[in-house]
């Protein structure tokens, strides 16, 4: 059982003017897998380290199961942490690395042995118990780092970019293992990454941060389908969402760079407070832009003529980059032949799945409720 | 053709080595000479006659065992004390948070610029007030607060990734455990350097023992060796035998520390 509560947490490092983390509010349920995601330098590690007790909390309250933990030493917090560079003890064997914490906590010798052996078997480290970290591969070191966290049955796991030092393939398989491990151990987990794919695949809920502030909290599906603001829309999703600065004119979305799309009745109905000629940022995901085949007959005004610039073939998908007027478009399509660079095609836009942001506040103009009601 | 450069290099290096080693050879050779053969011309490198009695005589005529014992006690405790103090203070200056930490460190470092001769007399007066003149404490304690050692260890601690300590803290360690069980084992090269340096310095120190120890009972080897040299005539073969005896412990420490130095170089387990 470990519920975590972060209330108005803020961090300002000594001799710094600005707060590195500000107004951080988050309730984490027992057994929940939370992923903090955001660009490098946005304060993810700082937040995690405050939870761990490795950084002091400048302001706000941090509670575990209702108990204030702000000033409790790291070792008394029932928290285990996996570090980005693993931080294995170089002079100790894998066995000693795993058992060090248990020894310091005065576990009985048999208990230590059985815990280490069990963790090793879960992580496939049994045959490496006598090795020193220097003789292990990156993936194995990563497992030892995980093992050091799991031997203790800590209530809370913290992981700071645990996969960032692995190559792409290993990262994918370790990602799946972490998901499995969490299903098995069910410890409350806070996981930090700058990789939105990792965040989407692992999280129960994602916390998207930028410049020390939470931008949005929600399930992966929520944040994908209803980004709260321009930043979230741009950060989540790969390839990245298309943005267009547009204004509304006579039921059309237009810009001076040659963009013109008719706003469907449904799209309009989601935007009840739209002012005439209001400036918007339109966000539309690559998969919601299709190449219009001649056989279909799309609604008039829902297409734009473009010229293909780059075609990326990814097996199951084709990523099409195109240019129409001064606007750039990225579209994700099913595998197939759509043309070559220089060819002209017609793109069709599924505006019902588009996102509308206020150009000045950057906030989504459609409330989360309204958009959920529709989808 | 291409070997010529290498050959010249090796010749030069060998010449240098010979120049370096010649005094040692001369020392060892003299220590096995008879009294009359030390000053003959041309100089003999191979002693003739070959006498090993000098090593016995020097122990019989002088309290060599006392000198040796004093030197060993002083050098060992000075080294241990220096390592302890340097490690603790180096860790504190590198890793612990306290007010004016860096200023205090700089001030401490600045004391290196004060020549030893300047503080010698005040130090002597201080120890006199402690009643430490002609005692082991007097010989040892002033030597263990080595600024250089603190500096060396601080730099070494700074070179260890912070996460390693943090991982240990999360594992339930306190500062002392982190310092001695997690980090220090990784600092064998620095410790070896500090050991060799401190031991040699203490072993060879002449001036401070000369000031602090007044009796023969408290004389260390360098003082003792000076006493081997008589007022009018000196038995160089005996002096050299004494010197050889005094060099052996240094060699032992050096060889011992060198092994862990090399061992330390090959240890690394972090992913960077
Ligand atoms: N010990 C520190 N002292 C001062 N500034 C720091 C310290 N640690 C991190 N920062 C600053 O805080 C900001 C956030 O850092 P961090 O939390 O590590 O970001 P992230 O993990 O999201 O990349 C960065 O601008 C970084 O330079
Ligand atoms: Mg970070």
Mean pLDDT by 10 residues, chain A (375 residues): 92 92 96 96 96 95 94 92 93 95 94 95 93 92 93 91 90 92 92 94 96 96 95 94 91 86 80 78 94 67 89 92 91 90 90 90 79 45
Model confidence band, residue B34 (pLDDT cutoffs 50, 70, 90)? confident
- For the entire predicted model, the pTM comes to 0.81
Question: Given this model, what pLDDT does residue A374 score?
Answer: 42
Model confidence band, residue B1 (pLDDT cutoffs 50, 70, 90)? low
Question: Given this model, what pLDDT does residue A61 score?
Answer: 96
Q: Domains in chain B, ordered, with CATH?
A: 1-52 (no CATH), 63-267 (1.10.3720.10)
**Residues of B whose CB is below 8 A from A83:** 163, 166-167
Which residues place a Cβ less than 5 A from the ion ligand 2? Answer: A 45
Q: Is B166 on the interface with A (CB under 8 A)?
A: yes
Residue B172 to residue A101, Cβ atoms within 8 A: yes
Ligand 1 site residues, Cβ closer than 6 angstroms? A 13, 16, 20, 38, 40-46
Computed over every residue of chain B, the mean pLDDT equals 88
State ipTM. Answer: 0.83
Of the ranges A86-90, A292-296, B60-64, B114-118, which is most confident?
A86-90
A-B CB pairs within 8 A amount to 77
Task: Quote the ligand 1 centre to A44 CA distance (angstroms).
Answer: 8
Q: Cα-atom radius of gyration of chain A, to the nearest Å?
A: 25
* A109 burial via Cβ count (<10 Å: 0-12, 13-18, 19+): exposed
| Interface probe, candidates A89, A97, A150, chain B, greatest B C-beta count within 10 A | A89
Q: Is A13 on the interface with B (CB under 8 A)?
A: no
The CATH 3.40.50.300 portion of chain A extends over: 4-230
Question: Given this model, what pLDDT does residue A375 score?
Answer: 38
Q: How far is B194 from chain A (nearest CA, A)?
A: 20
Q: How far is B157 from chain A (nearest CA, A)?
A: 15
Question: Given this model, what pLDDT does residue A268 score?
Answer: 77
**Residues of B whose CB is below 8 A from A86:** 270-271
Sign of CA dihedral A95, A101, A102, A103: positive
Say if residue B271's pLDDT is above 50.
no
Minimal-distance CA residue of chain A relative to B173: A104
CATH architecture for residues A233-371? Beta Barrel (2.40)
d(CA A4, CA A64): 5
Q: How far is A364 from chain B (nearest CA, A)?
A: 40
Q: How far is A85 from chain B (nearest CA, A)?
A: 5
Question: Given this model, what pLDDT does residue A318 score?
Answer: 93
Residue A75 to residue B170, Cβ atoms within 8 A: yes
Q: Is B204 on the interface with A (CB under 8 A)?
A: no
Say if residue B147's pLDDT is above 50.
yes
Percent of chain B with pLDDT over 90: 54
- In this complex, the residue of A80, A90, A133 whose CB is nearest that of residue B170 is A80
Q: Which of A97-101, A252-256, B130-134, B164-168 has the lowest mean pLDDT?
A: A252-256
Q: In the CATH scheme, what is the homologous superfamily, with its name and number, of domain A4-230?
A: P-loop containing nucleotide triphosphate hydrolases (3.40.50.300)
Pairing verdict, β A156-160 and A21-28: unpaired
Say if residue B270's pLDDT is above 50.
no
Say if residue B222's pLDDT is above 50.
yes
The CATH 2.40.50.140 portion of chain A extends over: 233-371
Question: Given this model, what pLDDT does residue B262 score?
Answer: 58
**Residues of A whose CB is below 8 A from B163:** 83-85, 87
């Amino acid at each position: 059982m470990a519920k975590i509560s972060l209330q108005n947490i803020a961090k300002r490092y000594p001799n710094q003017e600005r707060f590195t983390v500000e107004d951080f509010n988050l309730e984490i349920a027992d057994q929940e897998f939370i992923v903090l995601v955001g660009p490098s330098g946005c304060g993810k590690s700082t937040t995690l380290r405050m939870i761990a007790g490795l950084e002091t909390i400048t302001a706000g309250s941090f509670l575990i199961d209702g108990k204030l933990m702000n000033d409790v030493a790291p070792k008394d917090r029932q928290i285990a942490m996996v570090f980005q560079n693993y931080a294995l003890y170089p002079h100790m064997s894998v066995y000693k690395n795993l058992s060090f914490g248990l020894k310091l906590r005065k576990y009985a010798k048999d208990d230590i042995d059985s815990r280490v052996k069990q963790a090793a078997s879960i992580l496939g480290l049994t045959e490496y118990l006598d090795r020193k970290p220097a003789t292990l591969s990156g993936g194995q070191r990563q497992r030892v780092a995980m093992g050091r966290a799991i031997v203790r049955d800590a209530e809370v796991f913290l992981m700071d970019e645990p996969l960032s030092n692995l190559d792409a393939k290993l990262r994918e398989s370790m990602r799946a293992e972490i998901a499995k491990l969490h299903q098995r151990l069910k410890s409350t987990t806070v996981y930090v990454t700058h990789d939105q794919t990792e965040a989407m695949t692992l999280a129960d809920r994602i916390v998207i941060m930028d410049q020390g502030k939470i931008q949005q909290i929600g399930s992966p599906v929520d944040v994908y389908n209803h980004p709260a603001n321009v930043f979230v829309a741009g950060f989540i999703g790969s390839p990245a969402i298309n943005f267009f600065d547009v204004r509304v004119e006579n039921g059309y979305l237009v810009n001076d760079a040659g963009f013109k799309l008719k706003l469907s009745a449904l799209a309009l109905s989601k935007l009840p407070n739209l002012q005439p000629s209001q400036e918007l940022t339109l966000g539309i995901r690559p998969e919601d832009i299709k190449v219009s085949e001649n056989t279909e007959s799309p609604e008039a005004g829902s297409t734009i003529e473009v010229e293909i610039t780059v075609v990326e073939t990814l097996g199951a998908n084709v990523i099409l980059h195109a240019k129409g007027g001064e606007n750039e478009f990225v579209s994700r399509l099913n595998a197939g032949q759509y043309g070559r660079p220089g060819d002209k095609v017609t793109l069709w836009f599924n505006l019902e799945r588009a996102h509308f942001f206020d150009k000045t506040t950057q906030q989504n103009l459609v409330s989360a409720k309204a958009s959920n009601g529709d989808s | 053709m291409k070997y010529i450069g290498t050959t010249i290099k090796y010749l030069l290096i060998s010449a240098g080595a010979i120049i370096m080693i010649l005094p040692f050879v001369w020392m060892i050779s003299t220590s096995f000479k008879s009294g009359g053969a030390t000053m003959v011309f041309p100089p003999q490198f191979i002693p003739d006659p070959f006498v090993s009695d000098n090593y016995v005589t020097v122990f019989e005529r002088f309290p060599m065992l006392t000198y040796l014992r004093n030197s060993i006690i002083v050098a060992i405790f000075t080294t241990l004390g220096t390592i302890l103090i340097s490690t603790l203070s180096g860790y504190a200056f590198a890793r612990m948070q306290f007010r004016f930490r860096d200023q205090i460190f700089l001030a401490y470092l600045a004391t290196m610029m004060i020549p030893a001769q300047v503080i010698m007399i005040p130090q002597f007066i201080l120890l006199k007030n402690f009643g430490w003149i002609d005692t082991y404490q007097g010989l040892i304690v002033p030597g263990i607060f080595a600024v250089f050692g603190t500096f060396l260890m601080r730099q070494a601690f700074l070179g260890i990734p912070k996460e390693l300590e943090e991982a240990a803290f999360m594992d339930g360690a306190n500062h002392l455990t982190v310092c001695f069980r997690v980090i220090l084992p990784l600092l064998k090269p620095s410790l070896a350097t500090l050991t060799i340096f401190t031991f040699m310095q203490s072993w060879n120190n002449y001036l401070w023992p000369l000031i602090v120890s007044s009796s023969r009972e408290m004389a260390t080897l360098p003082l003792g060796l000076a006493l081997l040299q008589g007022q009018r005539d000196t038995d160089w073969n005996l002096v050299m035998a004494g010197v050889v005896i005094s060099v052996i412990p240094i060699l032992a420490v050096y060889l011992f520390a060198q092994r862990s130095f090399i061992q330390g170089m090959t240890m690394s387990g972090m992913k960077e």
